[in-house]
A and B are shown apart, each in its own frame.
Chain A
Amino acid sequence: MVNHISNEKVIEVENLTKKFGDFTAVKGISFHVNKGEIFGFLGANGAGKTTAMKMLIGISNPSSGNANVAGFDVHTQSDEVKKSIGYMSQKFSMYDDLTVQENITFFGGIYGLSRKQIKKKTAELIEELQLGDITKSRVGSLPLGWKQKLAFSVSLLHEPKIVFLDEPTGGVDPITRRQFWELIYTEADKGTTIFVTTHYMDEAEYCDRVSIMVDGVIEALDTPKNLKKQFDVDSMNEVFLKLARNIE
């Protein structure tokens, strides 16, 4: 086991299922994630990733099965779940019409931080990300890569145990993508658990373990190294293509 990961389970999922009418989007998935782990949650478009993630962050009620996230039950304690996690998505992360500073203050307030804490966190963020002169710029005017790095930091303002990242690097340039992953590494090394989805298969290699979802089911779950061995291929891209093809 890699040294930043502990044995403590911070996400435990058992037979988690979600039905929409006759359609079953998530078909009884079970897995766990350890504290400090970088867990890659992969799958084709429409495989059920987003639906599963929505249940784990407490905004969608499972049809059946259980999930415990950061020590709380997603059925009965969804508010506690929301307070103990961070969430960032590619589609919505921050308010374009507010400045960098205003966004930090706003989200700090939402997460229940005191003014004093917000002030301290803002100073830390400006230092860490070397924001300097852009703190007064509107978020909408920043390049996508900057927005995403900032959104990641904002999702960590309340020091959550787990952070959920939904395609954080989509469309971002190769260098910024890698800088983003260096931020993820730093955070994981501090003990924060990272739950991340991506369509970049080189990024799957940066995860401690990877699950691949096909048609609502987790078809494979292991370290990138073991998955490549299991499917007898050289890259995660080939693992992914092989899995999706076998299903067709």
Chain B
Amino acid sequence: MTPLLEIGKLSISFPGLEAVRGFDLSIHAGETLALVGESGCGKSVTALSLMRLLPPPARVDGSILFEGRDLLALSLAEVRDLRGRAISMIFQEPMTSLNPVLSIGHQLEEVLRRHEKLSARAARTRAVELLDLVRIPEPARRIDDFAHNLSGGQRQRVMIAMAVACRPRLLIADEPTTALDVTIQAQILELLDRLRREFSMSLLLITHDLGLVGQWADRVAVMYAGRKVEEAATQRLFEHPAHPYSRGLLATSLHLEQELHYRSMRLPEIRHEAGDAGESTFRLIEASPQRIPLPPPADTPILSLREVRACYRTPRGDFAAVDGVSLDILRGQTIGLVGESGCGKTTLSKTILRLLEPAGGTILLDGQDITHLAENRLRPLRSKVQMIFQDPFASLNPRHSIETILDSVLSVHGLRDRAGRRARILETLDHVGLPRQSLLRYPHEFSGGQRQRIGIARALILKPSLVICDEPVSALDVSIQAQILNLLVELKRDFGLSYLFISHDLSVVRYIADEVFVMLGGRFVEHGDHRRIWDAPRHDYTRTLIEAAPARKAGAPASRLELAAA
């Protein structure tokens, strides 16, 4: 059987950048193929090239045969006839992928009227049916809504409705769930899989998350630096990855069934070395026991929260983003805080740092009440609590060199001696694993992982007791993620740090936390010892979160087995 889509020797280059090199891939009718790789590996560029959607400076060579026709040889008018009708695509950001000033009905009808030449009335009827198909409640009423009236998950559903409106043979989904919460993520993938079967489409699922792949894909292609390094059936790839990079990717991506915990084990790391001929070699450092044990937490709390509340002023009155939470962080302990977007976890961290004025309750730092302490009296205490931010780029002032960033922290905190400051800065750089010659460089000259190391250096240079880590690895690739987590554990041991580790990613929290708090709607719904909470969750919401987390093994869900039987 000839494949639906056959990519041969595809090369894509931009001025000064070779994005994809000699890429081959074929997709058969009705199958789900996952294209996996880290940011910048060329997977999204490849997807866009299939639709001929790359901006003009891109040069595309090779062939893309779709049902026997070479898409690269077609005229743009012919390609436009295929777009949205035979091949459709959905994108990562449902927020920005819908036109904000046109109703969703209008945008749905647009594609129907373009390809199926429906009348206005018929298009509207079909649009309502499509919204119903993707499970938007009350479709007849929501059809006149605008993108901003919908939640993130609903927006992605509308995008999917638009993509399948003309029953395409191939649906390309470029990181369709990356911007969504875990619980929504599972629903969207289920929807995609259902539609794939109903419409007998092929699905090209592009993702950085290996976890997703096992559950939904028939075959997986792994991409690195513009090349395909491996392609195999999902089961086979998971059990016997052939290429060292795939092995590394599998080993470093955490999943919930894993029994790894930071007190006993170091995470595996993948190291990439460029060979003499410019080829890449990978070295996998397997998970290993911690050589030096971490001391158990002390009995005294470094931070105590009692019924803390924090409010935002909105046009409709005050909104309590944090609504009466209590918590103790013991010296040397790591508390994991889990919750989905909007649950109040970031507001809580800002309140603890007194970046937001608490609306109620008490905050005790090292036994001292700081709830309403004036800024000038708070300043000396600030060195005890520091923060690491999610987006390492946004949290570094782009106009300052690394030396300025670190040096001003010390001078603000009264270190007058220039040589002393310099010594302390160099020492800190060594601790976080940055080369000393980084000092004169600016944040934009570093990679994502290195920027996060700078963020960690800034937090550590004051020798704090407690560090609040707000999604510190969420913006990073899996392979970098493991390096940063290992670094955080080392630093904790060396400096006796306590962490408040905030994340939406349960598998990361499972590894790093001693005790876990689950947050929903500004409150803690459950907390407990890290083993207990995964093995015997008590609250429904905790169970939902755990179930929604992508399962690791290939072919796990029932739907997939059904299909195999059919």
**Is the A/B pair a real complex?**
no
